[in-house]
A and B are shown apart, each in its own frame.
Chain A
Amino acid sequence: MPDSPLLTAAAVAVIAMAIAVVVGVGLKVLRSFRDLGTDAERATYHTLHAASQAGQHLRRGLNPAGAAKASRHLRTLLGCEALALLDTSGVLAWDGAAEELKPQLMRLAEGVLAGGRTAVLPAGQPAGPNGAPKDGTGGRLAAVIAPVRAGTRVVGAVAAFAPSAGAGLVRATGEVADWVAAQVELAELDASRTLLMEAEVRALRAQISPHFIYNSLNAIASFINTDPARARELVVEFADFTRYSFRRHGDFTTLAEELRCIDRYLLLERARFGERVQVSLRVAPEVLSTVIPFLSLQPLVENAVRHGLEAKEGPGHISITANDAGAFAEVTIEDDGVGMDPKQLQSMLAGHTDGEHVGLRNVDARLRQVYGNDHGLVIETAPGEGTLITMRVPKSQPGHDA
C-alpha cells in the first residue's frame, strides 16, 4: 500500500507545523505580559526608540525617501499635529495634518534657511501678498521652524505644526533639529569615509611600488644582451601588468583575472630572483569566476615576496589555493618566509602604526567595507614561521560587476 505511509508522513508534517505555530503564538502572548517598568522608564524608552528608528532612516542624509520615513517617527517624538522636513531646495517630507500648507512652506521657511534662526509663526494671519512672509502661517496651525545646521552651513529645516506654538514646542523642535543635524553630519562622515576608501584604492593602483618598477626594468636590462627573446617577453609582460593595474573602469574583477595578474607579477619577480621563488597553485575551477575587489590578491602575493621571501636566505615557497566552500570562495596565500610579529601586525591593521604592510591593511579595509566585518583578512603568522593569509568572499554578488 503506497499511499498510507505517505499520508502518515504528511500528517506528521502538518502536526509538527501546528505545534510550531502554537508555541510561537504562545511565546508572543507571554512576552506581551512582561513588566515594562515605570511610566518614566517607558517614556524614555519610547523617546529613544523613536529617535533610533528615525536615525536609521536619516543614515543616508537628507533625502526624500529617508525623510518621509523619519518624519513619522519625529512627529511622534514631538507630539505635534504635522511635521515637515526640508532641505534648501524644497520640502522633502510632510507627515500629519494640514497638508494644504505644504506649497507655502518653502516661502515660510525662507528666512530660517537664509538666516539660520528658529522662526515661530502663530496661526491665522495670512502671508503677505508679494511672497514676503508676514507673521503667521495663514492656516489654522501655528508653526515652529528650526534650522538644521551641519557645521556652519544651514542644510535644511524641521517644521513642526501645532494649534499653538508654546515655549515647550519651540525648545523641543530646536533640539530635534540639532539631532537631525547630528545624523546628517554622520551621513556626511560615511560619505567621506567611502570617498577616502576610493581614494585609497586609487592610491594603491598608482602604488605599484617604485621598487618593483626599478627592479623589473633592471632585471629586464640584464637580459637584453644575453637573452633578447626573454627580455622582449618580459617587457610585454610588464606592459600587460601595468595595463591591468592602471585600468580605470570598475572596482571589481574576477578571481581568474586577478590570478592572471599575479602570474605576470611573479614572472617579473622570478626574472630577478630566479629559482629562489617557487610557487605552487591549487585552484578549484568552480570559483574562478567569483567576483573579488580589484587588486585584492596581488598585494598579498607582493607582500609574501617582499616581506616573506626577500629577507630570507635560500629558496622560498609560496602556495596559492582557491577553494569552493559552500556559499563562499576561500583563497589562501601561504609563504615559508620570515613571518611577522603578530602584535605589530595587529596594530598596523588597526591603523595605529604605518608599517611596511600598507598593502595588507588596504586590502583588509576594503574587504571589510564591501562584505562586512566578518570578511576581513585572516592572517596566521609568527616570526620565522612564515605567513598564511586567508580571504573569504561570498560567491554570489549580484550587485557587483566584474
Chain B
Amino acid sequence: MNPGVALAALAVVSLATAVIGFYGLRISRTTGDFYVASRTVRPWWNASAIGGEYLSAASFLGVAGLILLSGTDALWFPVGYTAGYLMLLLFVAAPLRRSGAYTIPDFTEARLDSRAVRRVTSLVVVLVGWLYIVPQLHGAALTIRITTGLPSWAGSVAVVVVVCLTVVAGGMRSITFVQAFQYWLKLTALAVPILFIIFVLAGNGTPALAPPVANPTGLAPAGLYQNVSLLVALLFGTLGLPHVLVRFYTNPDGQSARRTTLIVLGLLSVFYLFPTAYGLVGRIFAPGLARSGQADAMVLLLPGELVGGTAGDLLSALVVAGAFAAFLSTTSGLVVSLAGVISQDVLGGGVDGFRLAAVVSALVPLGFALMTDSFALAGSVGLVFAFTASTVCPVLLLGIWWRGLTDAGAIAGMLTGGVLCGGAMVVGAMAGASSTPAWLAQPAAWTVPGAFAVMVMVSRATVHRVPKTMSRVMTRLHTPERPLATER
C-alpha cells in the first residue's frame, strides 16, 4: 500500500490525541453551566474511556491474527479479556472505588498499614506496566514496517515520542476524553473496513479459497490445560492492571463504578465481534497471510488484499489510524499511571518529578522493545496478564475480601507469584516457543493458586500482624457511601 497514506493516518491520530488532550477542557463555562461542569463523568463516557485504554495492540491486531492461525481456540482471548471485567465488576470495582486510594500501592498501603507492602506493590506494578508497554511498541514496529517499509524501530520510537510529548506537556489533563475518543476511533477503524470488505466480497461473489475450519498452519490445537490456564490468566489478570483501575476513580461512587463496568462489558463485547470477523474472513479468503508469517499484520493487510485500489488504500489508512490509536491510548494510559507511582514513591511527588518519571517509564520499555523481537502479540500480552494475575490480583482480592491478610503474607505471596511466573516466562523464552512444554508456556494455572496459597498461609502464620486499622478500612470498603448531599 501507499506509505504516504499510512504516515498521514499516523500523523492525524497523533495530532487528534494531542489536541483533544490539550483543548478538551479549555471551553470556558459561565456559572449557568456550573451544574454541568461539577457533575462527575457520566458512566457512558467513563466506560468508553476504559474501553479505549484497555483495547491494546493485542486486541486490535493480535486477536484477529490468532484466529487466522488457530481458529476457534483463539476465541478464548476475547472471551477472557471481556470476562475479566465480570470479575472486576463482581469483586473489585465498588470496594476499590470506596477505598479512596488512587493507585494499587496506595490501596495496599492503606489496607495493610505498611510501607514495605507499598514498596513491593509499586515495584510489581511498575514491572507489570513495563511488560505491558513492550507488546504495544512491538505492535507499532510491526505496523510501520508492514505499511510504510520503514525500519521497525521507527514505529516504537514514534509511539514513545508522541506519548512522552503529550504527557510531559500536560496534554493528558483531559485523559478521560482522549481515551473515550480512542475507543470510538478503534471501533470505527475496525468496523467500517470489515463491513466494506464483506459487502464487496458478497457483491463480487468472490469464491472462498479455503473452508473456515481448515487449519492454514498445521499447528497442533491447544489442549484443555492451555485453555484453562489462559482463561485463569485473563480473568484474574484484568483485576490488577494499573491503568484500568485508575479509571474507576473518575466515578463518583461505588454504584456508578459498577454501572460503568457493566457498560464496559457491553462495549468490549461489541468491539471483539470485529477482530473475530477479520480472522474468519482471513481464513476463508486470504489464508496466504498465515503462511507468510504476518498473521499479526492481517488486519492491516486484509483491505489491500481483498479490496485494493484507492478504496483499499483508504480503508488501510483507517485501520492504521485505529491501530495507532490502540498503541497510543494503552501506552499513554500506562505511562501516566506508572509515572504517578514512580514519582510518588521514588521522587517524592511534584510536577517535575512526574514529568521525569513519565519519560523514564516510557524509555525503559522502549529499550526492551528494541532489544527483543515481537512474539505473537496476543500471546505476549497473555503472559503479562498471567504475571498480573499471580502478583497484584491475589493481594487485591484477599485485601478486599479477607480480614486475615497481613503485610508479611501479602509480600510473600506477591514475591512467590512474581518469581514463579517471571521464572516460567524467562525459561519459556530461553527454550524457544516450539520446545516449551504447555505448563511453562501458560503458567497461570499453577502460579496463581500458588501465590494465593502462600499469601493465605503466611498470613495465617503471622496473625499477630493483622493491622489495627483493619476493621475501619474494611468497613469503609464494604458499606455504601452516604449519598451526596448535593444530589437533588
Chain A contact residues, CB within 8 Å of chain B: 1-3, 5-10, 243-244, 247, 254, 256-257, 259-261, 263, 266-267, 270, 278-286, 288-289, 291, 319, 323-328, 394-402
In the assembled complex, B176 has its CB within 8 A of some CB on chain A: yes
- Chain B contact-residue range equals 35 or more
B473 contacts A3, CB within 8 Å? no
Contacts of B486 in A (CB 8 A): 244, 256-257, 260-261
B343 and chain A: residue at smallest CB distance? A326
Contacts of A263 in B (CB 8 A): 31, 34-35, 38
CB distance from A279 to the nearest CB of B (A): 5
Give CA–CA (A9, B130) in the complex, Å: 14
Query: C-beta contact mask, B96-118 vs A, less than 8 Å → 1, else 0?
Result: 00011111001101100000000
Give CA–CA (A256, B484) in the complex, Å: 9
Give CA–CA (A266, B31) in the complex, Å: 8
A281 contacts B432, CB within 8 Å? no
In the assembled complex, B145 has its CB within 8 A of some CB on chain A: no
A289 contacts B25, CB within 8 Å? no
Give CA–CA (A232, B476) in the complex, Å: 39
Give CA–CA (A371, B232) in the complex, Å: 41
B250 contacts A3, CB within 8 Å? no
Residue of B351, B373, B426 touching A2 (CB-CB under 8 A): B373
CB distance from A328 to the nearest CB of B (A): 7
B174 contacts A256, CB within 8 Å? no
Give CA–CA (A296, B131) in the complex, Å: 41
B429 contacts A2, CB within 8 Å? yes
A321 and chain B: residue at smallest CB distance? B25
Q: Which 9 A-B pairs have the closest CB atoms?
A: A398-B110, A326-B354, A396-B102, A259-B38, A285-B41, A263-B34, A260-B486, A396-B106, A280-B28
Residue of B26, B250, B431, B484 touching A286 (CB-CB under 8 A): B250
In the assembled complex, B430 has its CB within 8 A of some CB on chain A: yes
Contacts of B27 in A (CB 8 A): 282
B431 and chain A: residue at smallest CB distance? A3
In the assembled complex, B349 has its CB within 8 A of some CB on chain A: yes
CB distance from A264 to the nearest CB of B (A): 9
B37 contacts A281, CB within 8 Å? yes
Say whether, besides A282-B25, A283-B37, A327-B102, A289 and B175 are in contact (CB < 8 Å): no
Contacts of A284 in B (CB 8 A): 25, 173-174
B430 contacts A3, CB within 8 Å? yes
B484 contacts A257, CB within 8 Å? yes
In the assembled complex, B462 has its CB within 8 A of some CB on chain A: no
In the assembled complex, B219 has its CB within 8 A of some CB on chain A: no
B327-356 residues at the A interface, CB under 8 angstroms: 339-340, 343-344, 349, 351, 353-354
Give CA–CA (A395, B106) in the complex, Å: 10
Give CA–CA (A394, B348) in the complex, Å: 12
Query: C-beta contact mask, B368-393 vs A, less than 8 Å → 1, else 0?
Result: 10011101000000000000000000
Contacts of B25 in A (CB 8 A): 282-284
A247 and chain B: residue at smallest CB distance? B485
- Of B26, B27, B39, B251, most buried by chain A (CB within 10 Å of CB) is B39
CB distance from B74 to the nearest CB of A (A): 20
Contacts of B2 in A (CB 8 A): none
Give CA–CA (A288, B99) in the complex, Å: 16
Provide a sorted-by-A list of 24 A–B residue pairs whose CB atoms are within 8 angstroms: A5-B372, A6-B429, A256-B38, A256-B40, A263-B31, A263-B35, A281-B28, A281-B30, A281-B31, A282-B37, A284-B173, A285-B45, A286-B175, A286-B250, A323-B173, A326-B343, A327-B102, A327-B354, A328-B349, A397-B100, A398-B101, A398-B106, A398-B110, A401-B100
